[in-house]
Each structure stands twice: as C-alpha cells, then as structure tokens.
Amino acid sequence: MLSNITSPYYFSGLEPGVVEQWALVDSNNSLLLVDQDFKLIKFLHMLMKQAYGLVQISKLKNYNPADNTQCLMLRFQNDRIAIQKNTEYKLKTQEKLMYVRSIIKFVLSETDFYLAQNKEASAPIIQNLEVEEEFYGLLFQDYNILSEIYKSEIQKIEHYKKDVFYVRASIFGLLESIDIKLGLTELADNFISNLNSHIIAVNYFENYIKPKLNELYRPI
C-alpha cells in the first residue's frame, strides 16, 4: 500500500480520546488528509484558498476512524464513506499538505509557548502595577490620567503579544503564497527562500523562528 508513513511531515490524524475527525477532499470527494485538530485543518483549508473541500467525516453514516495511511483509499459519497484506489498523485499531494500543516503546527505551538513564558515572567510586574493603579485610584480624583499611565506601562511590558502577532502574520502570509501544484522540493525551496528574504524587526523571529524553520523545513 502506498503510504506517507516515512515522510518527516507525517502525522496519523488520530489522537487517543478524540472522537471528531475532518478531512480535506479534492474535487472528486477523494480524501487527501484527515485530522482531529479542527483549528489546524481549518487553517490549512483556508491557506489553500479553499482549493479543497473540508468535510467532518465523523458525521458520515458509516464512519470509522481513519488515519493518513488509510484515507487515500477512501472517498465520501451520499453521506457515506466508499473505497477507492490510491494513487501516487494523491500520495504526493498529501505529503505537500502535511508539509504546510506541519509548519502551521510548529508556528502556533512555538508562539503559544513564547506567549506563556512571557506571560509568566511578566505576571508579578503587571500584578504590582494593577494593584498600584487601584490604590492610587482611591486617593486621587484625576484618576483617568493616572489610569492611562498605568495602562501604557502594562502595554509596554506586554509588547511580546504584538511580536507574536507579527511573527504569525508573516509566516501565514508566506504560506498563503504557496503553490500546492509544485513538487514538494520546489515548494519547500520557494517557502524557505521567501522566508529568508523576509525581515521583521522582532528578535524572536530573526533569532529563533527563522533559523528553526530553516532547520526543519528546508528542501528535501
């Protein structure tokens, strides 16, 4: 059986204890990729400019959980899953979709971790400022000016939130320009080339995200 199991971007699409499952399908309703993380597959669906359909296959009448080694032999028809022949074309398309999905997951996971780290580090400082603001607000009548000063200080401390927004917006902008019709090597080469020519004034992007993406997603 044809399979992408050896691909560095492979994921099964099945998670223990998760009961809902979605699939990207082509114009013939052939399943190309399955996932139980709705956010990731919806982001992938939208980045592909809706070139593929998105179907919640777990709602189909004869649904059985399928992983990404099995789904290429499946299609949906009349609210049911049907068997079909796997092809090399679908296999290659699936791997390219996995490549993009893997980048999405990496960027969201890493930036979520970055947010959590910075939130934890800044929490005592922000808590102190918020208590000061509340205390002085009880003593001074000109509270609005005082409140704006404290809000401004807190926004400076939480600048990391804007950094994450810029990083995500930059990467997703690059992913949106991907041509899924290219071969995987050329597709990856285009992404990495565009990534390395893209500069934003965020140290986290230039010193960590960009080098890590080069390491993990360079052309193969």
Q: What is the pTM of this model?
A: 0.92
Dump pLDDT digits (tens) for 173-189. Answer: 999 999 999 999 999 99
Q: How many CA atoms lie within 13 A of 88 on its CB side?
A: 1
Cβ(33)–Cβ(5) below 8 Å: no
Say whether pLDDT at 167 is over 80: yes
Q: How far apart are CA 194 and CA 111, in angstroms?
A: 20
What per-residue confidence (pLDDT) applies to 58? 96
